[in-house]
A and B are shown apart, each in its own frame.
Chain A
């Protein structure tokens, strides 16, 4: 089955800095990579995703990149703000059918004002 490794487990940055979270996956057939943000005491929320037919996707201050050859993908947050503080999860799966996502262990991002 799929195995997803996520690093770092904790990331502390100053407001305005950039933050990068990296994930690797094992199943070369995986072709859909969503990222979730979980604020304290709440359920995770899908914030951005990328499919294997593109190498990068941006949405305002967040971007995801994918390297299929190396089987790794990353979340980039620029100009971080205190409200970006949360736990971020990456996931990987084969899109469609009955496939279920495999999640990374999560990264706790702390943005200091």
Chain B
């Protein structure tokens, strides 16, 4: 079945450590996105990529980095510069030009100890 796979589902890290969240899709979608979800804050866009080897900052990109070397993969690195990294992270994909029809993964919950 086609879909989006995020891993790991749960992740713990110590302050000062970088951590990379994986996102893989087999939907043949060109566009991929990373959102951060905090209670009462809705879905806030971190980064998005419309095509391989290209990506743009979203509303809250500071302290995060991404790469898009393959169409299927869009990993997110939460760096030590992110001041409040504990959150639920969601990856999504869409057909290019149809960003309102997002397919989401099941999310990764990051906790900084």
The listed residue (B41, B90, B99, B101) touching A100 by CB distance below 8 A is B99
Count of interface residues, chain B, beta-carbon cutoff 8 Å: 23
Residues of A within 8 A of B4 (CB): 43
Task: Tell me the minimal C-beta distance from B103 to chain A in angstroms.
Answer: 8
| Bound-state Cα–Cα, A93 to B58, Å | 15
Name which of B11-19, B42-50, B63-71, B78-86 contacts chain A. B42-50
Interface centre among B48, B97, B100 (most CB of A within 10 A): B100
Whether A34 touches B104, Cβ cut-off 8 Å, given contacts A9-B40, A44-B43, A89-B43, is no
Once the chains are docked, how many angstroms separate the CA of A89 from the CA of B104? 13
Q: Are A44 and B90 in contact (CB under 8 A)?
A: yes
Chain A residue total in the interface (Cβ 8 A): 27
Q: Is the CB of B100 within 8 A of A101?
A: yes
> Does B92 make an interface contact (CB < 8 A)?
yes
Interface string of A80-110 (1 = CB under 8 A from B): 0000000001010101111111011110000
- On whether A49 and B40 interact (CB within 8 A), knowing A42-B107, A43-B107, the answer reads no
- The answer to whether B100 and A103 touch across the interface, beta carbons within 8 angstroms, is no
Interface residue A46 (Cβ < 8 Å from any Cβ of B):
yes
Once bound together, how far apart are the Cα atoms of A9 and B40, in whole Å? 8
For B58, the chain A residues whose CB sits under 8 A away are 100
- Please list the 3 inter-chain residue pairs (A to B) with the smallest Cβ-Cβ separation, ordered nearest first: A43-B104, A105-B42, A103-B43
> Using a CB–CB distance below 8 Å, which chain B residues touch chain A?
4, 33, 40-43, 45, 48, 50, 58, 90, 92, 97-107
